[in-house]
């Protein structure tokens, strides 16, 4: 079973939920299409990686490790709160299971994959079902930003899409969310 990143709901107004997320470790790919980004990440979590075990007086033993899938899968024009911020580039990220750290996560063998740490943060989220076509995502993003502006809540960074289901899940059963980091006053 796929685990989901834990969060704490700290508020709700209209159709927007305010959540506090713990620090996250992301495996990310920057690219053009969802497929160009998804498959390198999927191969990474299914063993296209290198783990190093320290063996005294020898070279490291290298082998691949399966990494459990965690939801959501995050897609953004850029990932907020990372350094350097890569602008003008789409990004897809898989959240790594919480028992991995930067030091313990296997090394990606695909040079397109980067590991990024995101600090604890507060996110405003709006949920929707169905497909995540560009028009729907833009509409939901505009709605989220409009509600936040009306509520005088400042955003930090860029909005991002969070998807929770496999591509084979029927649209009406899919859980999707658009989120954006917010400033707490």
* The pLDDT of residue 2: 77
Q: Which pLDDT score, from 0 to 100, does residue 31 have?
A: 81
Residue 52 in this model has a pLDDT that exceeds 50: yes
Structural domain includes residue 49: no
**Percentage of the residues of the chain whose pLDDT score is greater than 70:** 85
User: Is residue 56 one of the residues assigned to a domain?
Assistant: no
- The total of structural domains in the chain comes to 1
Residue 24 maps to a domain: yes
Task: Say which residue the tokens 């740490």 belong to.
Answer: 117
**Burial group, residue 27, by CB count within 10 angstroms (0-12, 13-18, 19+):** buried
Please report whether residue 63 resides in a domain: no
How would you class 64 by CB atoms within 10 Å of its CB: exposed for 0-12, middle for 13-18, buried for 19 or more? middle
Strand (E) positions, 8-154? Answer: 8-13, 16-21, 24-31, 49-53, 61-63, 70-71, 73-76, 90-95, 107-108, 113-118, 121-128
Would you say residue 131 lies in a domain?
yes
Q: What is the pLDDT of residue 126?
A: 97
CATH code of residue 96:
3.20.80.10
Q: Could you tell me the residue range of the domain that residue 176 belongs to? A: 3-41+68-182
Q: What is the pLDDT of residues 57-109, one digit of tens each?
A: 444 444 688 998 888 999 985 444 333 333 346 899 999 999 999 999 999 99
Per-residue pLDDT at 156 exceeds 60: yes
Distance CA 5, CA 26 (A): 11
**What pTM does this model have?**
0.84
Q: What is the model's pLDDT at position 82?
A: 35
- Residue 160 resides in a domain: yes
Stretch 33-58: mean pLDDT: 79
What distances in angstroms separate CA 28 from CA 84, 115, 129, 162, one per listed residue? Answer: 13, 6, 24, 14
* pLDDT of the residue at 89: 61
Rg (the chain; Cα; Å): 17
* Main-chain dihedrals φ then ψ at residue 69, nearest 5 degrees: -70, 140
pLDDT at position 166 is: 85
Residue 76 included in any domain: yes
- Per residue in 111-126, pLDDT (tens digit) is 999 999 999 999 999 9
In a domain, 59, yes or no: no
> Per-residue pLDDT averaged across 160-173, rounded?
90
């Amino acid at each position: 079973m796929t685990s989901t990143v834990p969060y704490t709901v700290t508020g709700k107004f209209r159709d927007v939920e305010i959540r506090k997320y713990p620090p996250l470790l992301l495996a990310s790919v920057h690219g053009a299409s969802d497929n160009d980004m998804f498959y390198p990440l999927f191969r990474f979590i299914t063993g296209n990686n290198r783990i190093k075990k320290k063996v005294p007086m020898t070279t490291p033993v290298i082998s691949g490790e399966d990494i459990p899938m965690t939801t959501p899968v995050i897609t953004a024009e850029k990932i907020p709160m990372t350094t350097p911020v890569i602008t003008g580039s789409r990004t897809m990220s898989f959240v790594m299971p919480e028992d991995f750290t930067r030091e313990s996560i296997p090394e990606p063998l695909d040079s397109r994959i980067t590991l990024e740490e995101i600090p604890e943060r507060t996110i405003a989220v709006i949920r929707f079902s169905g497909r995540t076509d560009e028009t729907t995502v833009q509409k939901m993003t505009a709605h989220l930003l409009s509600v936040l502006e009306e509520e005088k809540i400042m955003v930090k960074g860029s909005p991002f899409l969070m998807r929770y289901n496999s591509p084979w899940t029927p649209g009406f059963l899919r859980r999707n969310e658009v989120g954006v980091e917010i400033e707490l006053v």
